[in-house]
Structure 1
Amino acid sequence: MKFTVFLSGLLLIFLLPDRTESVEDNTVDINTLARIINFFEQNYKRGTEKNPHQYATAINVPKDQCQQNFNLNTFLTQENGANVKNDINDEKKALYQGAELIAAGTKKDVDEQKFKMHSEFLLLNPPNNSPMTNLLNKRKEDSCSVFYTFNSPCVKTCLNAMGCHNILDALENWKKHPGIKAFVFKNFWKFDTKKDLQNDFKQIVAHVPLFRCVSENECYACNGEGDTAIDAHCLPLPPKNTNIEL
């Protein structure tokens, strides 16, 4: 911060410390984010390459782990990958809670055997006492919190503000947490691939920054704040026009 004073024809300039954080200090490095998501995929992914299964993870780590000086050798060293996978693949439990990481698969609903509770719901609800709440409470200063879901949150339940399984109240609580924040997805939920998700994804952006990471070298900031549009890389491809003019 620069403070300028004119005195008897002399220009005096005082440099005062700028106590406000720069945007860069409070924003995830997108190349580092790609490496983090790739770590999740390499260590916790459910199913196989040909038949992957839905899962979600969240971390709350020191801020520098989300910036350019990211060090894989010191990342999530308190977590055991085998334990994570065992817990999230158990459909009766479907939940892992560690020191800096939480993760979930899908859980069979006791009352409705055909319905599976989504991994996002398992990590984010109930909003005031969820695994995510407990994780965020472990580190409140100089932190970076990243939530990753393999498939985008579904419109019908997760992003339905009127539904009992939505995650929007939880995102509102997360918004209040200090530090770097990133909500990330890779693929589009299979029943939403033909929908216009612009307004649905804006519900996420209203609370936390949204990203899409499709490989270890390819992540996109979805943007969408205020009146700006969600980036095309974060939306399903529009349906092809199959009409043929003769």
Structure 2
Amino acid sequence: MKFTVFLSGFLLVFLLPNWTKCVDTVDIETLARIINFFEENYKRVDEDGHSRQYATAINVPMHQCQQNFSPARNNFLTQENATNVKNAINDETNGLYQGTELIAAGLKKRKNHYLHSESLLLNPAGNSPMTRLLNTRNDGCTVFYTFESPCVDSCLNAARNHNIINALENWKGHSGIKAFVFKNIWKFDIKKRDLNTKFRQIAARIPLYRCVTANQCYACKGEGNAPIDAQCLPPPEI
């Protein structure tokens, strides 16, 4: 945008920022297509055909999160091999894939418990797979997707060692488009009364979305004093 002023015989030209081109949020229709790409290429399924928990994160050129972009194997995450990703995240001795533009995780088995996929990708907060992914492109579009919402008792509990709150705070300072996305609400959290408060911990740092089908995502809101949108919470009990 150009602004011109004539003053005492001098021509002054000011170049002003073109704010109409400033895009800092993901296009929600494109986001739905990106999440569907994850589901088609990396989704974990057990031998009985049941879906299993996994998470992925990307750092891609900004235009790939903007309007009218349609991800496909020939134009999106082309340096990542889907078979390698799935093999890595299904191996519960490690459960982790670290690529060029994509990281992904399933579950990592410990003696008497599992490390959750969100924690595997986001911890330790200052030196995690997500930290290294963010460092690959300073102004890219970063999307974190988890099949099940982060659990209240561990991932969203600041008192627990494997919580993701500090990692989200670090991610908040990254330039470019950001989105934290989930599909289903973790089955053990469906009846938790404080889900609105817990999800707002995410929304206060990173824009939060819920994508339920290949064509439908919802902005969960929750910034400032706003509540989490009802579409991102369990339906009210009847």
TM normalised by structure 1 equals 0.88
Letter in 1 for 2:181: V
Per-residue CA shift, 1:114-172, capped at 9, x if unaligned?
2100000000000110000001101113x100000000000000000111110000000
Look up the equivalent residue of 1:68 and give its one-letter code.
Q
Residue 229 of structure 1 pairs with residue 230 of structure 2: no
Secondary structure, aligned partner of 1:236: coil
Match of 2:36 in 1: 38
Q: 1:185 aligns with which of 175, 182, 187?
A: 182
Give 3-state SS (helix, strand or coil) of 2:198's partner.
Answer: helix
- TM-score w.r.t. the length of structure 2 is 0.91
Shift of residue 194 of structure 1?
1.1
In structure 1, stretches of 5+ residues that fail to align are 241-246
Aligned residue identity for 2:88: D
Q: 2:205 matched to which residue of 1?
A: 207
Q: Is the partner of 2:228 in helix, strand or coil?
A: coil
Secondary structure in 2 matching 1:38? helix
Tell me the amino acid that sits aligned with residue 86 of structure 1.
N
Q: Find the counterpart in structure 1 of residue 67 from structure 2.
A: 68
Shift of 1:212: 0.2
Please tell me whether residue 161 in structure 1 is matched to residue 158 in structure 2.
Answer: yes
**Stretches of 4+ moved more than 6 A in 1?**
4-8, 12-15
Gaps of 5+ in 2: none
Match of 2:91 in 1: 90
Q: Which residue of 2 aligns with 1:55?
A: 54
Match of 1:132 in 2: 130
Give the superposition deviation at 1:47. Answer: 1.2
Cα offsets for 1:27-78 (capped at 9, x unmatched): 1010000000001001111115851110000000000010124242310000
- String of CA shifts for 1:6-29, please: whole Å, max 9, x gaps: 989xxx997632165755x11101
113-122 or 67-76, which deviates more: 67-76
2:219 partner amino acid = A
Give me the identity figure in percent: 65
**Larger-Rg structure:** 1
Superposition CA RMSD, Å: 2.2
In structure 2, the residue matched to 1:147 is: 144
1:105 aligns to what?
106
SS of equivalent residue, structure 1 residue 207: coil
Aligned equivalent of 2:168 = 171
Shift of 1:226: 0.5
Letter in 1 for 2:163: N
